[in-house]
Structure formats: C-alpha cells, structure tokens
Amino acid sequence: MNKEAYQFNYEVYNSAEELNEQDAWLVNEARDVTSAAYAPYSNFNVAAVAKLVNGEIVAGTNQENASYPAGLCAERVLLSSAATLYPNIAIDTMAISYNNNNGESNHPISPCGICRQSLVEYEERTKHPIRLILSGMEGKVFIIKTAGLLLPLSFGSADLK
C-alpha cells in the first residue's frame, strides 16, 4: 500500500486593499453585485464577477427558489451567462463574495461541490485555468491559482471514454 497526500498553496491577503488594482476592482464589484442576489430564504447573498480572457466582464448571483433544489449558485449562473454571451471564451479570473444578512461577512467563502465540478468542467472545456479570488464583504482575501485545485480527484470527460 502507498499513501499519497494532496495539498496546494494559495495566497492570503489581510484585505482587498492589499490586492493589485485589477483584483481589487473585481472583488469590490463582486461585493457590490451581491445586492442583486435573490436569496429571500437564506438571506445569504452571493455574487461572482469574472474577467474573461477577451477583457469582457460577466457577473452572476445566487437565485433561490421556494423549491430548494431549483435554486442556482452565483458561480453557475455566471458560467452559464459567460458560455452563452461569449461562447468558447475562457475565464481568466473570477471573484466570489457574499453578504450574510443574518450574520457576519468577514471571511472568504469557497464554492460548493457542484460549483467546483462546474468550474473544473469549464476549465477543461476552454483549456484555461480559472483563477479564483475569494472574499467576504471585508476581511481576508484568498487567491487560488486554478479552480481545479479545489476539487482533487475530480470526475471529468476522460472518465467517460
């Protein structure tokens, strides 16, 4: 038997003010866009804002539904919009932020499992890594060089061949 380990490095900033101008803009835009989320049940507004490799900006917010499985996360709303508006154009960087109306929003959050799978599929589809910037409305910011790092041992198209 062999044992293997999985680990990855990511950058940690104390606040968005420490980021370069472009990254800070994306984070602040994601924070602003949380106000467009439809989250009447959880009161947990999430937004994702991405810069595509062609320079275009696309945003998405979570969209809840009284029939809970029918809701959509901000990341998947963004991916769907980007794929429709700009077919085959890769995403360079995506900033994700949230506003918890029931509590604090002072630490980074990470995409859920189905969003991680969707992000990895988008990376595979466009053959380009998606750099993630994770934050709350304030506090620390994490930068992860590729979304695929969040889903080790992922399932992909190669598994279906």
The pairing of strands 91-100 and 131-135 is parallel
- pTM for this prediction: 0.96
Question: What are the extents of the domains in the chain?
Answer: 11-151
Q: What integer best gives the mean pLDDT of the chain?
A: 97
- The pLDDT of residue 69 is 87
Q: Say which CATH superfamily domain 11-151 falls into.
A: Cytidine Deaminase, domain 2 (3.40.140.10)
List the catalytic residue out of 29, 56, 64, 75: 75
Annotated active-site residue 75? The verdict is yes
- pLDDT tens for residues 74-108? 999 999 999 999 999 999 999 999 999 999 999 99
Contacts of residue 108, Cβ cutoff 8 Å, sequence gap at least 6: 134, 135, 136, 139, 140, 141, 142
